[in-house]
Amino acid sequence: MKLLQNISLPTSSTAFKRVNILFDEQIIKISADDIPFEEGTEIIDGKGLIILPGGVDPHLHILSDSKTAAQDLSTITKAALEGGWTSIAELSYYTDSPLFNPTDIMKNKALVDEHAYTDTALWGHVDISDYPYHAEAAQELWAKGVVGISLAAPTPNPAIAEISFTEIMDLFLDIYESDTAFSFQGFDHENHQEFSFEAQRDAIKKILRRMQENPIHIPRVSSFSTIEFINSISKRSDISFAICIADLMPIFNPGFFSPEQICDFEEALDLLFELIRTNKIYLLSNCTSSYISPAKDAPVFQGSKPENLAYSYLWVLSEFWKNRKVPLATCIKMTSENAAKRLGIYPKKGCIAAGSDADFVLYNPELSTAIKTPTGAKTELHGSFQAVYLKGEMVAGVKHKTLKTGCFLPRVTNPKRRHNNNTWI
């Protein structure tokens, strides 16, 4: 048992609340008053620190070659944990062993339990070549706890058969009565010879015309006009999207970060920032990939460098909250709460509340953190992560050996975003 005393808890306003938190693997009690504790309870002094929920990334792309899967998973999730990301969801575009059935889940669960530093959820895939049993297989995956089914058109992976927009429509109709969530990434390759932002928007429109009641998530949007389009229809459809943090870094800190993918955010920077400030950007993700995709592949499938994981959460707090006065509650929603909701793991994750897993970061806003960016530039970020806790155990932090305690994270609820107005506070 542990008791965290005199810690500052953010509220939905700009104020903080000084609280004490009793926790073990889960948070047991949060109170502004003294909490009685038993003999042997570990006392942690939180004075001067802010408690934040651990970061939740809804889609990393770690697994590719089975021969290197264990090492890739270990290395990348260790960097994520040290950067404050305590939970991730693995969405493999390029894996040579796609997750098509419950047996595949068990294989990946064993891999995660042995090698992952973060708690790790899994996305499943559709094997359209298994017609007419592909829809049944997708439902079976959903019942076994995957956070969603990944759809890609065109397929970037020869191990995953090409699926047409007509076949996607049939799949949606086959599972009409289910709340199964899907992600979609790609472009309208049926009417466009190559990727463009317009081709991506056309593909999203095709998906929306075919969707039933199922939640749809777009893992990476790099065009402001696509953001505007999705926001304009999001109240009529359960659709969400993520912006890659690596796409934001170069436009807000151009002297220290260079673009990793084509992106037009700089052309509408003021408008984009207004959406960020007013809580109209639903998710921020690292979009990390262990695999360097071939040049022939569409940019929409190209992941970002794993090195960013070590400081991306801290960068959001430094740049948006400290430098640009975006409300801290908004930063938390984009990096933790909303991803947990989208994945169906809230309030187990992404939340500081009694009954939630004790996954949190102890943040010192008065210190700074020196980093070296992928360009080789050195800079400092406002704030410092003093300690990272996963299921009640300190697993990373200043002068602390990083511990591997991650495990497979099954979905615990159905992610109906538009019907979920709860907040992590």
pLDDT tens by residue, 122-144: 999 999 999 989 999 999 999 99
Is residue 36 exposed (0-12), middle (13-18) or buried (19+ Cβ within 10 Å)? exposed
| SS3 at position 15 | coil
HSE-up of residue 217 (Cα within 13 Å, Cβ side): 30
- Beta-carbon contacts of 166 under 8 Å, excluding residues fewer than 6 positions away, are none
Per-residue pLDDT at 260 exceeds 90: no
User: Which band of pLDDT confidence, cut at 50, 70 and 90, is reported for residue 151?
Assistant: very high
pLDDT at 213: 72
| 104 and 410 Cβ atoms separated by less than 8 Å | no
Mean pLDDT on 50-61: 97
Residue 193 contacts residue 296 (beta carbons within 8 Å):
no
Please determine, for residue 11, whether its predicted confidence score (pLDDT) is greater than 60.
yes
Contact 123, 91 (CB under 8 A): yes
Residues 37-52: what's their mean pLDDT?
96
Q: What is the pLDDT of residue 414?
A: 81
pLDDT in the model for residue 425? 30
Region 319-344: mean pLDDT is: 96
Q: Taking residues 281-308, what's their average pLDDT? A: 89
The DSSP string of 223-264 is -HHHHHHHHHHTTTS-EEEEEEHHHHHHHHSTTT---SS---
pLDDT at residue 255 greater than cutoff 90: no
Say whether the peptide bond before residue 132 is cis (omega within 30 degrees of 0): yes
Higher pLDDT pick, 81 / 11: 81
What digits encode the pLDDT tens for the residues 383-393? 999 999 999 99
Is residue 161 scored above 80 in pLDDT?
yes
Q: pLDDT class for 418, splitting at 50, 70, 90? A: very low
Side chain identity at residue 105, one-letter code: I
Q: Which of 171-185, 248-262, 293-307 has the highest mean pLDDT?
A: 248-262
Query: What pLDDT score was predicted for residue 346?
Result: 96
pLDDT band, very low/low/confident/very high, at 53 (cuts 50, 70, 90): very high
Say if strands 16-23 and 378-390 run parallel, antiparallel, or are unpaired: unpaired
The pLDDT, as a whole number, for residue 296 is 73
What does the pLDDT average to over 115-121? 98
pTM of the model: 0.95
The percentage of the chain sitting over the pLDDT mark of 90, rounded to a whole number, equals 83
Q: Answer yes or no: is pLDDT of 424 > 70.
A: no
CATH 3.40.50.1100 fits 53-353+412-419, yes or no: no
Mean pLDDT (the chain, rounded):
93
Residue 329 has pLDDT above 60, yes or no: yes
In the predicted structure, residue 121 carries a pLDDT above the cut 50: yes
Give the pLDDT score at 416.
Answer: 59
pLDDT at 212: 66
pLDDT (mean) for 27-35: 97
> 3-class DSSP state for residue 58?
strand
Please report the pLDDT score of residue 211 as a whole number: 72
Rounded to the nearest 5 degrees, what angle is found at the Cα of 318, between the Cα atoms of 302 and 263?
30
Residue 48 has pLDDT above 60, yes or no: yes
Return the SS3 of 270: helix
Q: pLDDT by residue (tens digit) across 174-217?
A: 887 778 899 999 999 999 999 999 999 999 999 988 776 788 99
Joined tokens for residue 88: 């991730």
> What's the rounded mean pLDDT across residues 243-271?
94
Tell me if 55 sits within 8 A of 283, measured CB to CB: no
Count other Cβ atoms within 10 Å, centred on residue 139.
15
What pLDDT does residue 419 have? 41
